[in-house]
Amino acid sequence: MKPIRHMNRLLLTAFCCGFLLPACRESSAPLSTSTAPESGKAYDVVPERVAGLAKVEPEGGAIDIYPQVTGLIESVRAKLGDTVRSGQVLFVIDHALEEARIAVVEAQIRTGEASLRALQVKARRAELLAEGAERDYLRVKEVVEKGAGPRQALDEAETAWQSARYEIDALQADL
């Protein structure tokens, strides 16, 4: 059995070689595919159109875009693939939250301004009271120095004047 197998292999190899070898020989026909124009003849040049998909990236790679403020995007002003310029609005951010924050800050400012005006009024009132207390002190001092009034009245007038000055200092510190 072994010699028959060997013989079958030899015949198969010879058959394959006989079938495949003619395909390996060189062809006598030239393989040139150049279409050089013949001299003296005019040819029209027709451009070919090539269509395809491409991704163009900027020189430095992808560009990250960051908003100046945070918030929810209300609308998109540019689509994928659009040409954009520096400073162009790409997205509109919902500004309701920012408007609410501004309203709160404006209310705080108005409250602060009202408090400031109230303190200024109190300070002016304290200045007027201090001026009156000083006049009273000077009058009482003059009377006491002439011996026409009690020393206790002078002490009370001086205490009222000092108290009014301390009130002014406290209010000015709050301003």
Half-sphere exposure of 36 (CA within 13 A, CB side): 4
| The pLDDT value given to residue 4 | 63
Q: How confident is residue 87, by pLDDT bands cut at 50, 70 and 90?
A: confident
The answer on pLDDT for 135 being more than 70 is: yes
Q: Write the pLDDT tens digit of every residue in 29-77.
A: 555 555 555 666 666 666 666 556 666 677 767 777 778 878 888 899 9
Question: What pLDDT was estimated at residue 152?
Answer: 93
Q: How far apart are CA 75 and CA 71, in angstroms?
A: 12
Q: Give the residue-averaged pLDDT of 14-34.
A: 57
CA distances from 160 to 20, 53, 119, 128, 169 (A): 130, 92, 21, 13, 14
Query: Do 18 and 24 meet the contact criterion of CB atoms below 8 Å apart?
Result: no
* pLDDT at residue 120 greater than cutoff 70: yes
Sign of the dihedral defined by the CA atoms of residues 112, 116, 118, 122, in that order: positive
- Where do the structural domains in the chain lie, given as residue ranges? 96-174
Q: Are 175 and 123 in contact (CB under 8 A)?
A: yes
